[in-house]
Chain A
Amino acid sequence: MNTATLDAASLLFLLGATGAYAMSFVSFALDLARRSADATTADASARASRVLASSSAAGATAQRRAGVATLERGGDDGTTGRARSPISLRVGLALAVLGFALHLVATILRGIAAARVPWANMYEFSMTGTLVIMGVFLGVLLVRDLKFLGTFVTGLVIILLGIATVGFRVDVVPLPPALQSYWLVIHVFVAILATAFFALGFALSVVQLLQHRREVAVADGLDPRGGGLSFLRSLPGSEQLENLAYRLNIIGFILWTFTLMAGAIWAERAWGRYWGWDTKEVWTFIIWVIYAGYIHARATRGWRGSRSAWLAIIGFSAVLFNFGVVNVFFKGLHAYSGL
């Protein structure tokens, strides 16, 4: 098979993956709707079960190895027992896994077609990037039940894949000499990995803010049922969400630190200086500083909670900006978008 055929096959698989993700998205969205419905109808019983859950907190601790059980909400199938997962959630997850498998094949085919790593231009970077976001999400699910983020993750991946196939798609071309380096493999892949962790951290921070707003409303007695987004009631509390977001974001931050340093080492090899305030370097630095700020905020009195969550959100926005806008519209040495 020649390059063009393989690439065409890759595109087909990618479209298939996008289709599976789209159906997965619908299923996850239905699940959120179900949570809302459950939350409103089973109001009284939920309250009762929460009382139960908190009284048996010590028992719950025993069952969860790494969980902070006292912070966990009982009484809902989405966050506790895996066995009782409702059908919408299971279908959503199965479709996401199917999409991931197709996506993986698409990416590998593209790599074979190009005879190199499939992340040398923006189309490929988006393809691999979304694959890794999905992969990290599915991987984290093995450790933590974050299925409630399914709508967000599949939604984000669909949008990015759409932009990539419509806006960034380019045919396979050989690598320019400047990219022929093992640092392309290391530096770019770690950047992608960091982005995936930041994406999940971002999603958790958004949910955290919503959850916090609801908790405040409940505490103030404004709305006994806690606002419009009633599915939030089935999700972990804002503090637990914050801790989860923090953990994902610091992994992202470490990977980003490594990206920055690997980039500097590569720049030294390729351009003869390790740091030159090239636009892309500037934005990598800005993102790094924002997340350093986020980590500090978590350790600063008065900033933990919602304020630091906003910093995580700004940080991820900067990541998206760096990828979507800086690559395409800013002038600099990193002119490898392939567009």
Chain B
Amino acid sequence: MSRLSDPREAATRRASARSGDPRRPDDYVDSATPPPSGPDDSITQPRLGPIGWLRWFWRQLTSMRTALFLLLLLAVAAIPGSLVPQRTSDPNGVVQYKVDNPDLFPVLDRLQVFDTYSSIWFSSIYLLLFVSLIGCVLPRTRHHLQALRSAPPRTPARLARMAGFTTRTLDGRPADDATVARAVESARAMLRKGGYRVVTFADSVSAERGYLRETGNLVFHSALVGILVTVGIGGGFGYSGQRVIVEGQSFVNTLSAYDSFNPGRFVDENRLAQYRVKLDELSVTYEEQNQNAIGQPTDYTASVTTDGGAAGAASETAVKVNEPLRIAGTDIYLLGNGYAPTITVRDPAGEVVFTDSVPFLPQDPNLTSLGVIKVPDGLAQQVGMIGFFYPTQETSEHEEGDFSSFPDLRNPVLSLNVYVGDLGLDQGVPRSVYELNTDDLTQLSGRNTDTPGIRLAPGETQELPDGLGTVSLDDVPRFASFDIHHDPTQGWVLFFAVCVLAGLLTSLFIPRRRVWMKAVRDADGGLTLEYAGLARGDDPTLESAVKDFADRHRTALAEAGSASAPISERI
């Protein structure tokens, strides 16, 4: 029914005009009024004042064409964010992009391309779309509520032009009022049983069903608004943070315990849910059989003891990838792992001046890891060390240096380069624990110096250069990095998402249709029953439904007739 000249569509529009349709935008395919093209061509109207213009603008904004345009624009506007790294999901990528494209970067940055999804232009598009959506849905909802309470419209005068028009004759029955009434009554009963809302007239029945279709559509669109609003507001009530925990250590959910923390606008950072999580063990399984995947991790299990939360008492559980720990309204995700060699530094007298498990950051799939040790106090000078840790150390003849050939601890070796000088810790400037700025330091040992670097296996101790003291590798525990999230509105988003899906299913698969039956007396005294339907939206089975109804109605009438009709009629 695509062309306007289609008689069925014309009929649709006539019928709609009479009945008051669900209030669709003017340029909705089946809508009753043709789309007004603009304020200036309405010849009969006086010139538009500001209100008139506003109205015109509002009508444009809430038209189907605008909605369509904004939807397509939204799709296009989402593309740049997939071509260029985003600050939110890939901050390092943005830094790298700046290094790689120094000329292009400032231009793109001005255009907010690195923050596409919070940019002014992207936000404007979806906000306009949602204004349009609300402007479209509100009047329709009001109208639909009325429609739900009103009866189907009168039977059209001529059914012959409607969809699925078909007729049945009742032979040998006088077309008297009683027969007509029986036909009408039986049609009413059958349609009612089929879930139609029915009104009867003297010689016809008008029925409509599928109001749920419009309900579903409205639920769908409203739930989209629900999602947007929940996400928009909900972000302010949640927080997320990261924390690295070494085996044997604990984390207490307070602001200071986080390595990084992103609170929403309305979060009181001093009143986080109280609990403690201790990482007892992080066990990792690596593939050892499959030749194509040697060393690939196949399982991470963090065994933890929790204390606090709803249960109160301490309890042991596990956190795995895909299986976060839900505690006290927060979710704890296992997102990273690595080694944290336990290193002890002693002064020449043997006094311990530093001992800690230092997380080393993995550099490759075999967990060659890089870490930094800073010893500001206790030795003759401030000492900084940059270390490489190899879980399974090997040396290659082709390449220089060491590498790790397997991610598990088969032949662990720690190599350290030692620096002395001002570590810059005293100026109160925050420094990353994973970085050592060597610009102002003097390298004492390791590559590029005369003194070979320090190499340690677990349990070994070596002298620091220049008689500074000793360093030992006591143990190599693992660390796990956890993301801790709190999002109180997540459940609502899920709820609205389910509404979206349910609304979609109802509105796309429940047919909304009208069906009519009309008894027409023929010139020769016989009775013809006319049947027809009207699709309200996509309705592939309308014609067969009308035909089916006609057949069943005819059969029912015939059966009733043969049971009750006096024998004399047959002569």
Given contacts A171-B292, A177-B297, A272-B483, contact A283 B82 (CB under 8 A): yes
The 8 listed contacts between A and B (C-beta, < 8 Å) are A58-B166, A254-B501, A257-B500, A257-B501, A276-B88, A296-B64, A297-B68, A311-B72
CA distance A125 to B65 in the complex (A): 37
B68 in contact with A303 (CB, 8 Å): yes
CA distance A265 to B74 in the complex (A): 23
Which of B2, B27, B537, B544 has its CB near the most chain A CB atoms (within 10 A)? B2
Given contacts A254-B508, A271-B333, A331-B93, contact A68 B68 (CB under 8 A): no
- Lowest 7 A-B CB distances belong to which pairs? A173-B293, A177-B321, A300-B64, A272-B333, A171-B292, A289-B75, A282-B82
Write out the residue numbers on chain B whose beta carbons fall within 8 Å of the beta carbon of A274.
Answer: 490, 493
B94-143 with Cβ < 8 A to chain A: 116-117
Contact of B29 among A242, A247, A272, A299 (CB under 8 A): A299
Measured CB to CB, the closest approach of chain B to A223, in angstroms, equals 21
CA distance A178 to B85 in the complex (A): 22
Write out the residue numbers on chain B whose beta carbons fall within 8 Å of the beta carbon of A62.
Answer: 547
B541 in contact with A66 (CB, 8 Å): yes
B485 within 8 A of A: yes
| Shortest Cβ distance from B31 into A: residue | A301
B490 in contact with A276 (CB, 8 Å): no
CA distance A276 to B497 in the complex (A): 16
Q: Residues on A close to B: CB < 8 A?
A: 3, 58, 61-62, 64-69, 170-178, 180-181, 183, 239, 242-243, 246-247, 250, 253-254, 257-258, 261, 264-265, 268-279, 282-283, 285-286, 289-290, 292-293, 296-305, 311, 326, 330-333
B501 in contact with A66 (CB, 8 Å): no
Contact of A177 among B35, B64, B82, B300 (CB under 8 A): B300
Measured CB to CB, the closest approach of chain B to A277, in angstroms, equals 5
Measured CB to CB, the closest approach of chain B to A59, in angstroms, equals 11
Given contacts A172-B292, A286-B79, contact A270 B321 (CB under 8 A): yes
Write out the residue numbers on chain A whose beta carbons fall within 8 Å of the beta carbon of B537.
Answer: 299
CA distance A273 to B239 in the complex (A): 11
Interface majority SS (helix, strand, loop, mixed), chain B: mixed
B21-35 with Cβ < 8 A to chain A: 27-29, 31, 35
B93 in contact with A61 (CB, 8 Å): no
Given contacts A173-B296, A174-B287, A296-B71, contact A69 B322 (CB under 8 A): no
A285 in contact with B71 (CB, 8 Å): no
CA distance A241 to B483 in the complex (A): 51
| Shortest Cβ distance from B89 into A: residue | A276
Measured CB to CB, the closest approach of chain B to A144, in angstroms, equals 10
Measured CB to CB, the closest approach of chain B to A261, in angstroms, equals 5
CA distance A58 to B537 in the complex (A): 23
B504 in contact with A257 (CB, 8 Å): yes
Contact of B117 among A58, A247, A277 (CB under 8 A): A277
Given contacts A178-B321, A300-B28, A304-B2, contact A173 B78 (CB under 8 A): no
A174 in contact with B290 (CB, 8 Å): yes
B418 within 8 A of A: no
B2 in contact with A292 (CB, 8 Å): no
| Shortest Cβ distance from B126 into A: residue | A289
Q: Residues on B close to A: CB < 8 A?
A: 1-2, 4, 27-29, 31, 35, 64-65, 67-68, 71-72, 74-75, 78-79, 81-83, 85-86, 88-90, 93, 116-117, 164, 166, 231, 240, 287, 290, 292-293, 296-300, 320-324, 331, 333, 335, 483, 485, 490, 493-494, 497, 500-501, 504-505, 508, 537-538, 540-541, 543-544, 547
CA distance A64 to B548 in the complex (A): 12
| Shortest Cβ distance from A295 into B: residue | B508
Contact of B320 among A58, A68, A174, A177 (CB under 8 A): A177
Contact of A296 among B67, B82, B89 (CB under 8 A): B67
Contact of A173 among B88, B290, B490 (CB under 8 A): B290
Write out the residue numbers on chain B whose beta carbons fall within 8 Å of the beta carbon of A275.
Answer: 231
CA distance A67 to B75 in the complex (A): 35
Measured CB to CB, the closest approach of chain B to A69, in angstroms, equals 7
Interface majority SS (helix, strand, loop, mixed), chain A: helix
A176 in contact with B27 (CB, 8 Å): no
Given contacts A61-B544, A254-B505, A269-B323, contact A304 B29 (CB under 8 A): yes
CA distance A264 to B79 in the complex (A): 19
Given contacts A173-B293, A330-B82, list 10 more A-B pairs with CB under 8 A: A61-B544, A62-B547, A174-B293, A250-B508, A269-B322, A274-B493, A276-B89, A289-B75, A293-B68, A331-B90
Write out the residue numbers on chain B whose beta carbons fall within 8 Å of the beta carbon of A61.
Answer: 164, 543-544, 547
Measured CB to CB, the closest approach of chain A to B221, in angstroms, equals 11
Measured CB to CB, the closest approach of chain A to B277, in angstroms, equals 15
CA distance A3 to B292 in the complex (A): 11
A293 in contact with B35 (CB, 8 Å): no
CA distance A303 to B541 in the complex (A): 24
Measured CB to CB, the closest approach of chain A to B82, in angstroms, equals 4
Measured CB to CB, the closest approach of chain A to B335, in angstroms, equals 7
Measured CB to CB, the closest approach of chain B to A2, in angstroms, equals 10
B166 in contact with A272 (CB, 8 Å): no
| Shortest Cβ distance from B166 into A: residue | A58
Contact of B81 among A277, A289, A298 (CB under 8 A): A277
| Shortest Cβ distance from B35 into A: residue | A301
CA distance A275 to B78 in the complex (A): 14
CA distance A250 to B504 in the complex (A): 10
CA distance A49 to B296 in the complex (A): 67
Measured CB to CB, the closest approach of chain B to A217, in angstroms, equals 16
CA distance A94 to B296 in the complex (A): 44
A258 in contact with B501 (CB, 8 Å): yes
A289 in contact with B74 (CB, 8 Å): yes
CA distance A276 to B485 in the complex (A): 14
CA distance A326 to B79 in the complex (A): 11
Measured CB to CB, the closest approach of chain B to A220, in angstroms, equals 15
Which of B72, B164, B166, B490 has its CB near the most chain A CB atoms (within 10 A)? B72
B299 in contact with A177 (CB, 8 Å): yes
Given contacts A269-B323, A282-B78, A331-B93, contact A254 B28 (CB under 8 A): no
B240 in contact with A272 (CB, 8 Å): yes
A66 in contact with B544 (CB, 8 Å): yes
| Shortest Cβ distance from B1 into A: residue | A239
Measured CB to CB, the closest approach of chain B to A333, in angstroms, equals 8
A65 in contact with B544 (CB, 8 Å): yes
Given contacts A300-B27, A331-B85, contact A289 B71 (CB under 8 A): yes
| Shortest Cβ distance from A212 into B: residue | B2
Write out the residue numbers on chain A whose beta carbons fall within 8 Å of the beta carbon of B508.
Answer: 250, 254
| Shortest Cβ distance from A307 into B: residue | B68
A277 in contact with B322 (CB, 8 Å): no
Write out the residue numbers on chain A whose beta carbons fall within 8 Å of the beta carbon of B298.
Answer: 174-177
A271 in contact with B335 (CB, 8 Å): yes
A278 in contact with B89 (CB, 8 Å): yes
Measured CB to CB, the closest approach of chain A to B181, in angstroms, equals 29
Which of B71, B82, B490 has its CB near the most chain A CB atoms (within 10 A)? B82
CA distance A239 to B538 in the complex (A): 13
A268 in contact with B541 (CB, 8 Å): no
Write out the residue numbers on chain B whose beta carbons fall within 8 Å of the beta carbon of A285.
Answer: 78
CA distance A175 to B81 in the complex (A): 29
A296 in contact with B68 (CB, 8 Å): yes
B2 in contact with A305 (CB, 8 Å): yes
Which of A173, A300, A326 has its CB near the most chain B CB atoms (within 10 A)? A300
Write out the residue numbers on chain B whose beta carbons fall within 8 Å of the beta carbon of A273.
Answer: 240, 485
Given contacts A61-B547, A293-B72, contact A301 B27 (CB under 8 A): yes
Write out the residue numbers on chain B whose beta carbons fall within 8 Å of the beta carbon of A3.
Answer: 290
Write out the residue numbers on chain A whose beta carbons fall within 8 Å of the beta carbon of B299.
Answer: 177, 180
